[in-house]
Amino acid sequence: MKFLRILGLLVIVAFVGIFPVGIAPNDAVNSVAVFTLIGAITVVSWNIFSGYTGYISLGHSVFYGFGAYAFALASQNWHIPGGWDPFLLLPLAGLVAGAVALPLGWIALRTRRHTFVVITIAFVFIFQLLATNLQGITNGSGGVFMPLTPWTDGYTDLPFYYVAFAVLLVAIFVSWRIRHSKFGLGLLAIRDDEDRALGLGVKTAAFKLTAYMISAVFVGMAGAIFAYYVGILYPQFSFDPVVDITIALMAFLGGLGTVAGPLIGALFVIPLQQYLDLQFGGNGVNLMIYGALFLAIILVLPQGIVPSLQSRWRAWRASRNTTLDSGKRATNQEQPAFLIERGGKG
Amino acid sequence: MTLILEGVLLGILTGGVYALMASGLTLIFGVLEIINIAQGILVVLGAYLSYWLAQRFHIDLFVGLLLTIPAMFLLGMAIEWAFIRRLSWNRVTLSILVTFAIAIIIEGALEFFFTTNLVQLQAWYVDKSIKVPFLDFYMPYIYIFAFVLSVVLLGSLYLLVYRTTFGRCLRASMQNRTAASLIGINVPQVQMITFGIGVALAAAGGMVFGATNAFNPASSYDLISRLLVIIVLGGMGSLGGALIGSVVMIIISDVVVLAWDPIWASTVFFVILVLLLLIRPQGLFGRLEGRKQ
């Protein structure tokens, strides 16, 4: 069974690895693929914090923006030529985002639930305004230009694709390791009942802040790749509330708090968004279709694709073999208690 | 000094309008326990409805409210009935996504019908100004009319919530949904009507917003961020908090705009919010959240 799983994973990795050269050597498709990978990095790392702890952050685009600006300004000031060299700055972008997450997390994590959500939204607008107004540093709405890439047609997207894929693999690995560690168990305990977790000796404040910073690092790197890929950086597209909502949407569609769910969500949402933009342009019809589809999916599959399939699969297996080890199932991830609607407020 | 007084006066006059939109949002939060992200675009929708009535049928903006407020009330009830009520699992977060999806659909429809060009509502009281005694500056009549409108509507809202049987049911559902339904209150109905009222208030706020600002469908992002900040500042679910939060926010922004620089108005306000929440995480008038994450 384990062997089959590893084999399956290898097949998927190999497929994604040869996708842009072997299966669809086409600029338009590759561009969508790059955006999908960038989106997947953001949602996988967002899930490390929000999915595991249950604190829904709608402000991770702050780290996206910080990563992007750190990357852009560093490559501009150090006169780094376009090509592979700027990618060496990715860890720097991630570290800057992680460092920013420390004070922001310290402030925001003093609150819970709705207030936390709103504070994180406020962060996005604060930094969007700062990026627009601090023209000395960011050149305001004039934008910052990235180094030009030397790659020519048919080959332009591939470096971004593979770098994003590599970062994504690292992010997935970190997410998976955390999920199966004591640290991850502590985060899940915070999600289910924070006060009880604290009472049982989980250092909730430190755990939440650490998870927040780890997730910020990868979001920052995604922002940097995005900036380099798009070539020009504007405040409203780097500190973008739409990015936050897209992240939350991907995570919820796929399944919050699972390792695979966010990936599936990204695979579904970003290509759809790109397709609708291309097909209908900016006259509003794309938004209507996108919104309607998105609404329909939330209402039909409120728990997300992966948890829904998992429960179907479990039900199917149980019906085939009722004597199957029931002890094993008890250790499976059941629905966390806080996600189930409670009647009263008291 | 005059500038600051001017800012305070404008803040008091327009703060009421934000209080209208924010009390809709905070009521919905209080009763349904959801964050209505669509409130921003619903305000813009209200503004466009007034715009359409004025352009197409030459209906005065304030008279037009007699049509737009009931229409938006029905729209709100329909949204609650069709979508919000279906959420039985993880309401808090799914409601954010569902209302955001609704916001996207409305934004798309508005872009389709009205394009993204900035428009502003026109009427004689928008163009004509009155000289303010003692302070020596001119102010369009709309500010005074808007203030009267918001006082009337907020007064009726107060009477509705604190002096009627429906208001008692509403407050009961706010305090404890299970207990309220146990004593025979039809909680889903109360929720539907509350959502309708919240959206209807957005229509009124939208008209004034459209008369005092140039707007397009994308204005909703700025609006919803301001409204969320107001209700967090005031304490979520508290009507008085929404009122105080709006006035405080608008006064701060107006004073910063007039005395310092328009580009810093929102930043200063957001920073003040963050500082306040460091001291009082529940906002000015909010209740502390107990053992629930």
Q: Would you give the DSSP letter of residue A154?
A: T
Q: Look at residue A27 and tell me if it is in a domain.
A: no
Domain total for chain B?
1
pLDDT value for A337? 47
Beta-carbon separation of A125 and B270 below 8 A: yes
A183 domain-assigned: yes
What's the pLDDT at A76? 81
H or E stretch at A256: none
- Residue A86: phi and psi, rounded to 5, are -55, -25
Assigned domain for B211 exists:
yes
Residue A85: per-residue pLDDT: 76
Q: Could you state, in chain order, the average pLDDT of each consecutive group of 10 residues for chain A (346 residues)?
A: 74 73 67 87 91 87 90 83 79 90 88 79 82 76 76 74 89 90 90 87 90 93 89 80 83 82 87 82 80 83 79 84 52 47 39
B262 touching A, CB under 8 A? no
The pLDDT of residue A299 is 82
Average pLDDT over residues B81-104: 83
**B284 in any annotated domain:** no
Q: Is residue A346 part of a domain?
A: no
Whether residue B77 lies inside any domain: the answer is yes
The pLDDT of B280-292, averaged and rounded, is: 63
Asked whether residue B289 is domain-assigned, the answer is no
What pTM value is reported for the model? 0.81
Half-sphere exposure of B198 (CA within 13 A, CB side): 35
From B116's Cα to the closest Cα of chain A, the distance in A is 9
DSSP A311-345: HHHHHHHHHH-TTS-HHHHHHS----GGGB--S--
CATH number at residue B31: 1.10.3470
Cβ count within 10 A of residue A158? 16
Tell whether B185 is covered by a domain: yes
Q: Tell me the C-alpha distance between B286 and B99, whole Å.
A: 23
Count Cβ neighbours within 10 Å for each residue of A39-57 and write b for 16 or more, e otherwise. Answer: bbbbbbbbbbbbbbbbbbb
A285 Cα to chain B: minimum distance (Å): 6
* pLDDT tens-digit series, residues B176-214: 888 888 998 888 999 999 999 999 999 999 998 998 888
> How many domains, chain A?
1
* Residue from A55, A110, A115, A272 to probe the interface with B (highest B Cβ count within 10 Å): A115
The CB-based long-range contact list for B53-57 (8 Å cut-off, 24+ gap) reads B54/B121, B54/B122, B54/B123
Contact state of B97 with A248 under an 8 Å Cβ cutoff: yes
State how far Cα A336 lies from the chain centre: 21
Residue of A54, A114, A295 with shortest CB distance to B83: A295
Query: Residue B192 sits in which domain range?
Result: 2-279
Token couple for A101: 């997450």
Asked whether the ipTM of the predicted complex exceeds the cut of 0.90, the reply is no
| Strand, coil or helix: B119 | strand
Q: Is residue B186 part of a domain?
A: yes
Q: How many cross-chain Cβ pairs, A to B, lie less than 8 Å apart?
A: 172
Verify whether the Cβ–Cβ distance B289 to A112 is below 8 Å.
yes
Distance from CA of A151 to the nearest CA of B (A): 36
CB < 8 Å to B96, chain A: 56, 58, 117, 248
Distance to chain B for A336, nearest Cα, Å: 10
- The alpha-carbon radius of gyration of chain A (Å, integer) is 21
| Residue A6 falls inside a structural domain | no
pLDDT given at position A323: 54
Residue A18 lies in a domain: no
Banded model confidence at residue B44, pLDDT cuts 50, 70, 90: very high
Q: Which domain holds residue A153?
A: 35-319
Per-residue confidence (pLDDT) for residue A264, from 0 to 100: 87
Determine, for residues B236 and A115 on separate chains, whether the beta-carbon distance falls below 8 Å. Answer: yes
Distance from CA of B8 to the nearest CA of A (A): 23
Beta-carbon contacts of residue B2 (< 8 Å; ≥ 6 apart) = B135, B136, B137
User: Tens of pLDDT along B221-242?
Assistant: 888 888 888 888 888 778 888 8
* B290 in any annotated domain: no
Report the percentage of chain B scoring pLDDT > 70.
97
- Residue B288 placed within a domain: no
Q: Distance (Å, rounded) from C-alpha B276 to C-alpha A303?
A: 35
| Preferred mutation among A107, A121, A269, A338 to probe B, highest tally of B CBs within 10 A | A121
Q: Is there a domain that residue A336 lies in? A: no
Containing B138, the helix (H) or strand (E) segment is: strand B137-140
